[in-house]
Structure 1
Amino acid sequence: MTVTRKRVDEHIEVVTVDAPPVNALTVAGWFDLADAVRAAGADPGVHVVVLRAEGRGFNAGVDIKEIQASSGYEALVGANRGCYAAFGAVYDCAVPVIAAVHGHCLGGGIGLVGNADVVVASDDASFGVPEVERGALGAATHLARLVPPHLMRTLYFTARTVTAAELQGFGSVYRVVPGSELDEAALDVARSIAAKDTRVIRAAKEALNGIDPQDVHRSYRFEQGFTFELNLLGASDEARQSFLDEKGS
């Protein structure tokens, strides 16, 4: 299965993504991830969720091959709705979500991490939004939660990445550890949260979302509208196909 759930300790739920080779999720994969996170938060026995991945990196965004292989816009609409559902599930999860990031965290991965409550990363982790090179827009909403405004714009326009160490300097990554210690570092934070009264923590999560200065749902949906325009103009299809051709797919 692409997305699995496992109870670790008494009150910690670990959601793992495993979609070789790079954890680029299909439409179904995004919805499965949304369902897993949502279900974990709805379980009264869960006090905190850890979101992690197997393989070469945390997340490489949407499965471009699936979109290119689809006639019309069905796969594109599905991918956008799936990302919206997964990002929203993380943000709206009734309990804190800790993202444990290794390797690449790109596009949709930024949407997940930007909406998480705590980010722990391995020292090989890199973060970026290459959307402009794929003929799309999106996740600037979530990148803006990780870096200052002007850096966000620079990263967005250039499609460059930043390291976990750089994000730690901005305070958006809580800890940076060797890859072999990543899972334990995430669980260490999770255990600290799980030990608190879950009634208070759940209220705190809802309260923090309620005072958030940015409406992430509306903001991200606004971005997606431009992606659809670019697809209607043909720019997105050309960019995606160029990317696949360069990769030899």
Structure 2
Amino acid sequence: MSQTRQASYGLPAGVGAIAVGSFEMTSATRFDWHRHPMHQLAWAASGVLAVSVGASTWVLPPPRALWIPAGIVHAVEASRPATMRSVYVRKRGCEIGWTEPTVVAATPLVRELLGLLAGAGASKRARGHAERLLLELLQPLATTPVALDMPGDPRARRVAEALLADPADARTLAQLGRIAGASGRTLARLFLAETGAPFGQWRTHLRMRAALEHLAAGTPVAVVAERVGYAGASAFVAAFRRQLGVAPGAYFAGC
């Protein structure tokens, strides 16, 4: 069962425009829904993070980070052990004007600057230079988040939770109805009404979200395809391309 912790971070007194906090996340750790009065850059120094805003989720391996504007309600989780490094930036004087969560490249230089800012040895002048350079280096990457609304009705919710536990489950909606106490037709109506997507599309989104976490962890495409319910790598790659616009091998490229 997932551990759930409410994240509450402040900007320490006496620092400049930026503070950096590190958080060790065990398997299935979750920082539940929260917001910050300052901007945040969420980055996995090791492992993989999944950051959710509403129904959308961004999966972040170390080459990527997510800029979260101040006031945006979000949650962060890790399905495997990870080290989360969070950069907090005061709104005042910040020239970054992104109003929506934005994926950026965590280049080697960006990572070095994060390490310097996380330490205590840099002078005030060095920190100031590093802060300004870090913000100048943040470059947006074209990334499509995966949207996955969960149904509220307890019958549809039982089906959704079963598929979350095993994305490769190939049972039809009528067959899944046996665990929910509802007909396939009723469940189809509930999924469309409560998630805004037909059941087949909803299940595809769920599989893509699971696939992204496996891919970000370096799992081979053929293995990922099997784990998320596709008959083979080619069928999975075709579905991935339809949903996210690029092949799995290109999704995390260019970082």
> Is the TM value for this pair above 0.5?
no
- Greater helix fraction, Structure 1 or Structure 2: 1
- Identify the structure with bigger relative contact order (alpha carbons < 8 Å, sequence gap 6+): 1
Is the radius of gyration larger for structure 1 or structure 2? 2
